Amino acid sequence: MTKDSAEQKVTRGLLHALAKKHISKECLERSLVLSGFLPDKNAWYTFIHVFFLLLGITLVLTGISFFFAYNWSSLHKFAKLGIVQLGILACLGGVLYKGLDSLVGKALLFAASVLVGTFLAVFGQIYQTGADAYELFVGWFFFIIGWTAISNNTGLCFLSLLILNLAIVLGMVQTGRVDRPWEWCFLFEILCAIQFLPLLVWESFSSRLEWMRVRWFPRILVFALLYFLVFPVMIYIFSRTPEDRQYLSVQIAPLLYGSFTAFLFYFYQYKKQDLSILTMNCIALIIVVSCSFGKFLVDSIHDVIFLSILVIVQASLASIWLRKVWKKWTM
């Protein structure tokens, strides 16, 4: 039986049920390895290879940044620009040699994308262009978006999305468009839309495309979405003046959060099983419910005790429900 067919026909719950009466502990461990629930020797080798490759790339990029910081005054401007350009060309040469589909090629393309941002920062510092920080991130995003589109590189998708978020936040803050509570709500709702579109695309194509089957990227997107949705709800709950709730961005905050929470509970329980995302959703719901009660229960020590008990009860109920969901999946 192949690994794929074993994963389709055998569940962990069934294996553990068989282990109680019919198979030994050694057979159970071997069955879990063959069915893909436990990593084998090759899986551990791949993990170690990827880990040290990414660690090496991270240390090299960090070393380049510290090199410029320490030797900035003693380097000629052409040397500063030339070093970064040579690094970008070397990375791209490695990508051409190894190929876009190889692990080394993906890591080198990611490094080249990071060096593009370093080059823009060095260029702006040398020539004192007067550009705001958000303009650097906007340029960085548009320079690497083409590489992201053709690379099938999850790490590069994450980097591009992170740069886009930073560009939008810095752009609105530095241009003075974010000051009052409703403006912060509007900013966070824009960020929600930016995270939600890639999440829909990813979950729509993850079952068809091999490189989209990793789960850490959609989990990061959901985490960011919940963060950007909970913040406007907090503004709605703790608004100091009634005028703050007159704006549409504040009024729709609870509706947006409630709709997305219901979507997460349904989709990741019945359509695409993911216990991590359901857990994040439960934690966000606990925060919202606790803050809703906490707004009116902070006048005495008894209110604080009640709020603490409320949090414990919610966490216990969420744990019991998550365990039931997990058992339903594995049986």
pLDDT digits (tens, 9 = 90+) for 297-306: 766 677 778 8
Looking at residue 130, what is its pLDDT? 67
| 119 contact partners, CB below 8 Å, separation of at least 6 | 81, 84, 85, 88
pTM for this predicted structure: 0.81
Structural domain boundaries in the chain: 1-38, 42-177
Taking every pair of Cα atoms in the chain, the longest distance, rounded to a whole number of angstroms, is 75
pLDDT of residue 7: 44
- Residue 45 pLDDT exceeds 50: yes
**Measured on CA atoms in the order 142, 144, 148, 149, is the torsion positive or negative?**
positive
How far apart are the C-alpha atoms of 210 and 212, rounded to whole Å?
5
Q: What is the pLDDT of residues 53-97, one digit of tens each?
A: 888 888 888 888 787 777 777 788 888 888 889 989 999 999 999
6 — pLDDT class (breaks 50, 70, 90): very low
Summarize pLDDT for 29-43 with one digit per residue, the tens.
665 566 555 566 777
Helices assigned H by DSSP within 74-132: 77-98, 103-127
Calculate ∠ Cα 246-252-258, nearest 5°. Answer: 145
Band the pLDDT of 183: cuts 50, 70, 90: confident
Going by the DSSP 8-state scheme, the letter that residue 77 receives in this structure is H
Which has the closest alpha carbon to 113: 148, 83, 86, 64?
148
Q: Which residue has the higher pLDDT, 175 or 282?
A: 282
Residue range 154-164: average pLDDT? 93
Q: What is the mean pLDDT of residues 177-189?
A: 86
Q: Which amino acid would we find at residue 137?
A: F
pLDDT exceeding 70 applies to what percent of the chain? 85
Measured between alpha carbons, how far is 17 from 144 in angstroms, rounded to an integer? 50
Spatial distance between the Cα atoms of 224 and 218, rounded to a whole number of angstroms: 10
d(CA 74, CA 70): 9
Query: Does position 44 have pLDDT exceeding 50, yes or no?
Result: yes
What average pLDDT does the structure give for the chain?
83
Looking from the CA of 19 toward its CB, the CA atoms found within 13 Å total 15
Tell me what pLDDT residue 199 has.
93
Cα separation of 273 and 226, whole Å?
A: 18
Task: For the chain, report the end-to-end CA distance as a whole number of angstroms.
Answer: 21
Q: Determine the Cα–Cα distance for residues 185 and 165; give it in Å rounded to an integer.
A: 15
Please check the confidence at residue 112 and state whether its pLDDT lies above 90: yes
Does residue 179 carry a pLDDT above 70?
Answer: yes
- Can you read off the two tokens belonging to residue 92? 């791209």
Residue-level pLDDT at 194: 93
Long-range residue pairs from 94-101, CB within 8 A, at least 24 positions apart, any chain: 100/150, 100/151, 100/152, 100/153, 101/152
> pLDDT digits over 131-144, tens only?
678 889 999 999 99
For residues 188 and 211, what is the distance between their CA atoms, to the nearest angstrom?
29
